[in-house]
Chains A and B, each alone.
Chain A
């Protein structure tokens, strides 16, 4: 007798897992927002808008890292172009944010400023309906998913694997970046979208809106972790891990790896897109540099640092690398990339299982 779904869902996390999740929910959805909104600014307990925005950003990165880990750590597909899905999600929601500016732009036109600047008289067809937040949400999910599905279908059907796949994803994100750099593409060229004003009529920089976006990011991160947990403990997850370890053996058992890979690949892209859509209103800008190949490589580094093949590892990795990035790019702006490269080399050589692996090793050594 198979257990009902709710029970299976509850069993997907351990007791400690649920406690940690609840604790995170209380802090991210209750404590931090309250300290930001209701504690006066002078008080030592006040949480500044900077912290809220930084936290929201980090959680978006963490979602991307978990999405990356689902395909890399669990299915063995290393994508070095995941930034493209993040950016597309950001652009899709950015279109809505641009439309919400209304006639408050520098040129007081109903068109976004960059279109006025290009002397365009009306919106291109693909901007149709983007004044609706619901349609924007549909675009956020569908456009990256479609791209991932079509790209994945051809790549996986041709059995492109390993480093060849990684290189093609780099090319994909680079090519798309170059496309978005062009003004004629209709997404603001190299300036991208910025100067957002409102979401659903409410001021985007208000503390309330900040807290809502922060809370949404936390919620999506938690859902992503739960979904990830369900997936990796399902039979599908075990088949994916088997494909990672020996694809031909899986085929001789009667599985068709194409559909398994396509599913997790497309899902991963959609998670990245949602993260991108949450990220853009919080940082206030999206431009083609989000699609630069280096950005996508950085995502892989977050996962490697945190620990591949675990779900909490990528979250830790994304937070650690980005916090040190914030520090390094201010303290030693010229050396950040050297540091990042060195970090990657060191992690690969001495911490192949990342921070989580290191932690596990310390614990078993203590126990021994």
Chain B
């Protein structure tokens, strides 16, 4: 029971009739991400058309769909890069993402991995992780910031997890494509986000790397919520979560992979008329 409740004389045993708005993420209703009726158009082209989608806390959701279905635009809306023309987009119960800037959204706990791996090629692997690490990211703090032992340990743990510890002092530009993908996933984890948005995380990976990535994601689910956009059906099968099919900017079908693959509308979209 907190101080405010005492002040207003609430009885601890009385049924709650409302709750006090807390800052930060509120997932008391099990939903971590809630998109409703989102529309985005570029020069008349509807990239998203009344898209509605809800992701539960701890869920691992896969999103598939043909090119131009609006997958990347959806991520842009969630991370604040694109503002929707209409509709609502909430992170937890209280955070209205359409009113927040990119850094604010990142701070609130949404991390994003881009389709093209974007690591900082002139920084070392270690520095890439250091930059991503969850901490006070204001300029005046960075001016005097010094890495403490805890931060060092955290980076070392992540390096082991993404199997890049031998490459820690190498410049990230020299990594292979698959390694860059892993580094970016590592950077995402350093941010300690509640929700991870992963845009084609296994593109360009070998089969073995892909499988290891799948294992990693499955181990993250539960503690984190993951939204994975992928084309690789074998990978989606490995992940085994609920699948959402996007088509022309809205949800076409939703369910487990087998059910979705059997859906005649999905077959039509993928195989053409």
Residues in A lying within 8 Å of B, measured CB to CB? 1-3, 8, 231, 234-236, 238-239, 241-242, 245-246, 248-256, 259-260, 262-263
Contacts and interface: CB of A to CB of B under 8 A. Distances in A.
Contact of A238 (B107, B123, B148): B123
A238 B146 contact: no
Interface of B: 79, 81, 101-103, 106-107, 111-112, 114, 118, 120-123, 127, 130-132, 134, 137-140, 142-149, 187, 191
Contact of B120 (A245, A248, A263): A245
Nearest to B121: A245
A248 B112 CA distance: 11
Nearest to B147: A235
B148 A252 contact: no
29 contacts: A1-B149, A2-B146, A8-B146, A234-B144, A235-B131, A235-B142, A235-B145, A235-B147, A238-B127, A239-B139, A239-B142, A241-B120, A242-B123, A245-B120, A245-B122, A245-B123, A246-B120, A248-B102, A252-B112, A253-B132, A253-B137, A254-B137, A255-B103, A255-B137, A256-B101, A256-B137, A262-B139, A263-B139, A263-B140
Given A3-B146, A235-B142, A236-B139, A252 B79 contact: yes
B106 A239 contact: no
B106 A236 contact: no
Q: Which A-B residue pairs are the 8 nearest by beta carbons?
A: A254-B106, A259-B139, A251-B102, A236-B142, A2-B146, A235-B145, A235-B142, A256-B103
Contact of B131 (A248, A251, A253, A256): A253
Contact of A254 (B127, B130, B144, B191): B191
Given A239-B142, A252-B106, A254-B107, A2 B118 contact: no
Contact of B138 (A238, A248, A253, A259): A259
Among B122, B132, B142, the one with the most A-chain Cβ atoms within 10 Å of its Cβ is B142
Nearest to B193: A254
Nearest to B143: A236
A335 B145 CA distance: 50
A242 B120 contact: yes
A53 B149 CA distance: 50
Contacts of B121: 245
Contacts of A262: 139
A246 B118 contact: yes
A250 B106 CA distance: 10
Contact of B191 (A235, A253, A256): A253
Contacts of B112: 252
Nearest to A244: B122
B140 to A, nearest CB: 8
Contacts of B130: 235, 238
Among B112, B144, B149, the one with the most A-chain Cβ atoms within 10 Å of its Cβ is B144
Contacts of B187: 253
Given A2-B146, A235-B145, A259-B138, A241 B123 contact: yes
B171 to A, nearest CB: 12
A8 B146 CA distance: 10
B86 to A, nearest CB: 24
Contacts of B144: 234
B104 to A, nearest CB: 8
Contact of A260 (B132, B142, B149): B142
Contacts of B143: 231, 234-236, 263
Nearest to B148: A2
Contacts of B148: 1-2
A234 B145 contact: yes
A249 B137 contact: no
Given A251-B102, A252-B106, 15 more contacts: A234-B145, A236-B139, A236-B143, A238-B127, A239-B139, A239-B142, A242-B120, A245-B121, A245-B122, A248-B81, A249-B120, A250-B131, A252-B112, A254-B191, A262-B139
A104 to B, nearest CB: 46
B118 A238 contact: no
A356 to B, nearest CB: 16
A282 B143 CA distance: 34
Contacts of B132: 253
Nearest to A242: B120
Given A2-B148, A252-B79, A260-B139, A241 B106 contact: no
A245 B138 CA distance: 19
A236 to B, nearest CB: 4
A255 B107 CA distance: 9
A253 B188 CA distance: 8
Contacts of A2: 146, 148
